[in-house]
Amino acid sequence: MASDRRKQSLLVFSLIILAIIIDQWIKIAVKTSMSLGEGIMVFGDWFQIRFIENNGMAFGMELFDKFFLTSFRMVAVCFLVYYLIRLLREARHPIGYIICIAMILAGAVGNLIDCLFYGEIFSSSYGQVAEFVPWGEGYATFMNGRVVDMFYFPLFTWPDWVPLIGGDIFFGPVFNFADSCVSCSVIALLIFYRDRFLK
């Protein structure tokens, strides 16, 4: 049983590390090869790599100031680490549920890294391609970095005759791999494990 728990823990934390590495690799590749606002067509108009940065939450939402959001992310990461370790120790939870929590943690850490460090280690992306700079010579201070987003799927535009949303793009937000980890995991939790929240 202890051996099974160790294997499960190794799998889960390996997935977290892999997701964080993928997220950061994509962000650094975009940030060091594209200027802010630049876009690349991948599959016609419906899938683009479009480099933007945001101060806010997932999908560019901005509800609170930057220091609060970064602090909130740090608290959320600490809670998720505690909760995930507890799940792994109890050894009575479905592996799918644990992996969903792990991917939410990975996504939260991925975006937290941007907020904490990117402002310190990158030059500005406005009108130029950013470069690595010595610590403290970047575009912002510690905890005030901007989150790098790049995936854009403007699948279609609503017809003008549709009330309230006519002329708008069906899915307009630009997002990143970390956002995807969080969103897909939350959807999976609601579909497959909602009974755990209703008890």
Q: With helix as H, strand as E and coil as C, how does 10-76 read?
A: HHHHHHHHHHHHHHHHHHHHHHCCCECCCEEEEECCCEEEEEEEECCCHHHCCCCCHHHHHHHHHHH
Query: Residue 178: its pLDDT value, please?
Result: 96
pLDDT given for residue 39 in this prediction: 93
Question: 4, 23, 114, 149: which is the annotated catalytic residue?
Answer: 149
Q: In the annotation, is 160 catalytic? A: no
Encode the chain (199 residues) as per-residue pLDDT tens digits: 567 788 899 999 999 999 999 999 999 999 999 999 999 998 877 899 999 998 866 555 566 677 888 898 999 999 999 999 999 998 788 999 999 999 999 999 999 999 999 999 999 999 999 999 999 999 999 999 999 999 999 887 888 888 887 778 877 889 999 999 999 999 999 999 988 765 5
Please give the pLDDT value at position 63.
60
For residue 86, give both structure tokens.
């507890």
Entry pTM: 0.90
Give the separation between CA 109 and CA 74, rounded to whole angstroms: 8
**Residue 149 is among the residues annotated as catalytic for this protein:** yes
Report the pLDDT value the prediction gives residue 163, as an integer from 0 to 100.
82
- Catalytically annotated residue among 160, 168, 179, 195: 179
Cα(187)–Cα(197) distance, rounded to whole angstroms? 13
Q: Helix, strand, coil % (nearest 5) of the chain? A: 55, 15, 35
Residue 136: what pLDDT? 93
